[in-house]
A and B are shown apart, each in its own frame.
Chain A
């Protein structure tokens, strides 16, 4: 990673950065400069405000009525399905922001690459465990939703959407460019968790077990820790069994992840962690 890009060079690239038009390597180098340059940060705020306005340049195009109504029915069906079968994740934790994808960054963990045997063994067991668990979860969810909505055609679409979502999740867990961070704790109930980072699409999937319920008025908050920042990946509450799944989309430069942590925070979440991590895992790629 280039961290010594000259200010003038970086400054000349800010417009392209705001348009998300830099190639991956250059984008990382410019971002590295911007992260430590207040002048460029201020300019980026202004340029990003400009790019946000450009969507208004698009000519409105109505959807065909059938398509429009189909999407509407599916959206409302998903709301009902979520209520009937509450997701493991609090709504606010479904994903984080939405920095444009830099493309095809390949951030395979150095640790795993240096230990192919471990990689193969772990990948095989991971595939088996996750596949079985996910298959069971998908099957149970599908059957339950089918029973509930078998006479409501419009809500069958919600089932299709839920299954599609699960398919994407499986891909994010099992893809060839997935790095895994294991989180541990000394707590009495021995919470455990894993973070799966699908680096091909910048999709993060956090799976936790045995987490105690947060105190009243508090919630858990997931953090991606880099050398300079602690980035919130959303708040969540575990189900009564202590299980939780959080999915997020976030672009992180190669090798930037130092650790993944979960802290207990006020219900609205915090800008930065305010408590000691309940559970913590260090990235093997550092």
Chain B
């Protein structure tokens, strides 16, 4: 039987640590993925993942269902905490992501097979929307969103004029806004 996130959140607000454990078991690989995507360094990922779930535990009573899904809420926390850490330590995403071990890839496949259907559906839509962006727009958006770079930093990184980066980012977001509208309505 699938775990009901809303029930877990309610139990967490009541101080039920078993709900926290279940919540962690359910979402740790996704939170880990977001944090690793931003920080790209395994040695500092562990602390941040822990802090994400600790914040979720302590702020479970602030989750408002009408504002979006539990997944979105949690993953937004994960991104914020990862960017905080990246900016605080100035260890910004220069290194390539480590190659997964064979065991990890097997586990990944198993995880994907059991992945929450709603998440899988959302992921398909988001990945497709990103793939449809012109490469230069996708690059600007990903450097801003996933790497936490400012527009001027992106301009410096890519060697493009700042105005060009601003335009690319704006166009990318407008296209995504239309493509992802369905997810926003689903979340309500």
Contacts and interface: CB of A to CB of B under 8 A. Distances in A.
Interface stretch (A33-41, A59-67, A186-194): A59-67
Interface residues of A, number: 51
A277 to B, nearest CB: 23
Interface string B116-128: 0001001101110
A15 interface: yes
Contacts of A137: none
Instruction: Name the residue among A20, A46, A76 with the largest chain B CB count within 10 angstroms.
Output: A20
A161 B184 contact: no
Contacts of A7: none
A64 B50 CA distance: 14
Nearest to B180: A53
A10 to B, nearest CB: 12
Interface residues of B, number: 75
Given A15-B173, A60-B30, A49 B61 contact: no
Contact of B54 (A49, A54, A78): A78
Contacts of A176: none
Interface in A31-58: 46-47, 49-58
Contacts of B33: 58-61
B158 interface: no
Contacts of A201: 84, 88
A208 to B, nearest CB: 19
A22 B84 contact: no
Contact of A16 (B76, B77, B122, B144): B144
Interface of A: 12-13, 15-16, 18-23, 46-47, 49-64, 67-68, 70-72, 74-76, 78-80, 91-92, 94-95, 98, 100-101, 103, 161, 164, 201, 249
Given A19-B145, A55-B75, A103-B87, 10 more contacts: A15-B173, A19-B144, A20-B144, A23-B150, A23-B151, A52-B75, A53-B184, A58-B146, A61-B29, A61-B36
